[in-house]
Every structure is written in C-alpha cells, then in structure tokens.
Amino acid sequence: MSLGQLALHVATLPRQLSDFVAGDTLDVSAAAGAPPSAATHDALMAAFDESVTHAQRYLESLSDARAMATWTLTNGATPLFSAPRVGVIRSFLLNHWYHHRGQLVVYLRLLDVPVPSVYGPTADENPFAASH
C-alpha cells in the first residue's frame, strides 16, 4: 500500500465503517480492488473532514437498540464474525483506525518526514525548547 493509499484509508475509515455497519451484514467477497490514493493534501483533508462528519451523523442517529443489535461479517454465504454493532464500531473503527495511524506514522518516519504529535511530543519535538 502506498503512502497516499494509506493516508486516504486513514482519512476515510470513519465513513467507511459507518457505511459498513449501517446494514446488518457486510460481505467481504464483494470488496473492491486496490485502494484509491489522495492526489493532494487538500483532497486528503477534505476527505477526512467529510468522513468524520458522515460518521458523526451516523453515530448521533444510532439508537441504543440498533447499537446492541447483532452485525455479521461474511465471505459470501459463510459467516466470519458476529457481534453487537457497538462492539464492531469500537474494534473495527477505533482500533482499526489506531492501527493504520500507527502504520502511517512509521511510514512518515521511514521517509524522514517529521512525525506529528499523536499522544504528546514526538522524538521530532523538543519539549524544552523555548516558544517563540
């Protein structure tokens, strides 16, 4: 996966997952080919903003009953995984998002790009430097 593909995946995961869990099942055998890539920084940021807004709208409209209802991942007619929708949102969206964000940070580090702060200062930042 290229850096652009990974960056766009991280940016669009909230929308993708909210679309996935909107139904009662997701068939992975219908998955598309290679992931798309962001052409520009502005396109990437716009995709992220739209993705988060879409997911927020979905989560705000999610009832408690629907959140606790069973959701199933399938491969064709074969069930692979079933869990309450809220658990899928937690594990697939948040944990999956963190995982790919970590990959993205490593990718940036390998390309000698200063790594942004994720959970506080990074090795690229001097926490003792005077602010200007």
41's tokens: 């920084």
Q: Is the predicted pLDDT of residue 114 greater than 60, yes or no?
A: yes
> Whose structure tokens read 């909210």?
18
Res 132 pLDDT > 60: no
Which run of H or of E encompasses 55? Answer: helix 41-61
Mean pLDDT of 31-49: 87
Residues forming beta bridges with residue 27, ordered by sequence position: 74
Which residues have C-beta within 8 Å of that of residue 35, sequence separation ≥ 6?
1, 5, 8, 9
Backbone phi, then psi, for 122, in 5-degree steps? -105, 180
Residue carrying structure tokens 């001097």: 126
pLDDT beyond 70 at 34: yes
The C-alpha atoms of residue 3 and residue 23 are separated, in whole angstroms, by 30
Domain spans of the chain? 3-29+37-110
- Lowest-pLDDT choice from 18-27, 36-45, 85-94, 112-121: 112-121
Q: Residue 74: pLDDT above 80?
A: yes
- Mean pLDDT in the chain? 88
Tokens 């940021």, residue located: 45
